[in-house]
Amino acid sequence: MLLKSEGDVSIAGDVEAALREISLATPDLVLLDLVMPGRSGLDLLAELAERGVRAPVIVLTATNTVNAAVEAMKRGAADFVTKPFELEALRIKVRDRLEKRDLLEEVERLRDEVEDRQQFAGMIGRSDSMRTIFRTVERIAKAEATVLVTGESGTGKELVARAIHDHSPRADGPFVAVNCGAIPRELIESELFGHEKGAFTGATDRRTGRFETADGGTLFLDEIGELDAATQVKLLRVLQERTFERVGASRSISVDVRIVTATNRDLVEEVANGNFREDLYYRVAVVPVALPPLRERREDVRLLAQSFVSRIGPSKQLTPAALGSLEGYSWPGNVRELENAIEYGIALCEGNTIDQADLPISIGRSGQAEALREQWRQGERSFEETVTRFETDILRESLESHRWNQTQTASALGLTRRVLKLKMDKLDIEAPESPPKSGS
């Protein structure tokens, strides 16, 4: 009667009846009397723990059994109430426990959601560094501050810029991307700010620049470190005053644009060397976002590779050896190089599997050791086979690099020539009939 306004209430007179009720529906909260016919409330508490019932338990106990209530708390009860008790006080305690349980469940759900999230706005990764990027982008997207995205070529700087735009209040406005390094210096000013008819030779019509096009949205200036000194001055003025003039015009134009920039250069070093204006650097780097290279988040390689396969060749799949090669490679070209390698493998593979031999040669060789390790993990090779293959690959590679000169190879490997020859015989490694001569 007391709690019917709080929700559905089930009543049980002993431990067995309570367990039957719990098997039908998991409760949100349990009010437990310690003294019951047959087994005690402490027995039920143990059963709840064994069955994984996580509902908070409030123990009801008489004054002379408070010690038993304390013991119940040690065994996992959330709280206890001594009899006799005020009805309203019990109702408040029940509400409080239910609210706390709801809050804890929501926190746990959000934590799981963040931990399980492996993709955000086109960016993919389960590594700690990428999860940090996901959270950072979500936070800064809501602001209007200018963002500088740094990272090596191929790390996904434009994806970050698009994510910032798509999760910002400007998402319904235009997203305009400009690669400053791909536009000739004599045309960059016209490209950014536009020009009037007759402003220069070849200007037969008025042209709207990228700043005007991006009005109300986001302008992404990629490779901003490539801008020349004159354009840097003009860009600084736009960032300060939010106005500019088209080339050949005298009337100022006002725009409402959020600026996101990116570079693969070290702009601090460029400032020190006099190649980039210090005042412009502080204007564009209000909020810096540094993207890690792929070699520093190798745990994301498999996830990225499988994502690219699903998108480019949905009917294909990577073998463990191929995955091992991909994970063992250093990826100087980062995510873009990985995507190209997957496209290459899909184009060359026969059937529905992409094997190590289908990958570009540099990747297959570099990731050979990891590929062997992956095959062993998957049970495709025994331990002895893996060790033998690994030793064979090392010896063969060293022999090839020394043009099959056994004396030089043995010296490089720290072996005697006799031991090297014994290993070659054991592993069936034979020199080619006409090994390549030096300089050939």
Task: Name all domains of the chain by residue range, CATH numbers in brackets.
Answer: 15-113 (3.40.50.2300), 123-292 (3.40.50.300), 298-426 (1.10.8.60)
* 341 within 8 A of 363, measured Cβ to Cβ: yes
Model confidence, pTM: 0.61
CA dist 202 to 144, 180, 183, 188, Å? 37, 21, 17, 15
Continuous H helices in 51-204? 66-74, 87-116, 128-141, 157-166, 185-193
Residue 228, token pair as written in the block: 């020349």
Residue at 275: amino acid letter: N
Q: Are 429 and 392 in contact (CB under 8 A)?
A: yes
d(CA 316, CA 247): 52
Can you tell me whether residue 244 is helix, strand or coil? strand
The pLDDT score that the predictor gives to residue 6 is 74
Which residues contact residue 23 at a Cβ distance below 8 angstroms, ignoring those fewer than 6 apart?
none
Write the pLDDT tens digit of every residue in 229-268.
Answer: 999 999 999 998 888 888 877 788 999 999 999 999 999 9
**Pairwise CA distance, residues 418 & 410, whole Å:** 9
Taking the C-alpha atoms of residue 140 and residue 259, their distance in angstroms, rounded to an integer, is: 13
d(CA 382, CA 174): 57
* Alpha-carbon span 299 to 319, nearest angstrom: 17
Q: Look at residue 384 in the predicted model and tell me its pLDDT.
A: 80
Instruction: Yes or no: say if 153 and 198 are a contact pair by the CB < 8 Å rule.
Output: no
Q: Are strands 175-179 and 218-222 parallel, antiparallel or unpaired?
A: parallel
The tally of CA atoms less than 13 A away on the side-chain side of residue 165 is 24
CA distance between the termini of the chain: 97
- The per-residue pLDDT for 432 is 76
Residues of the chain with pLDDT under 50: 435, 437-440
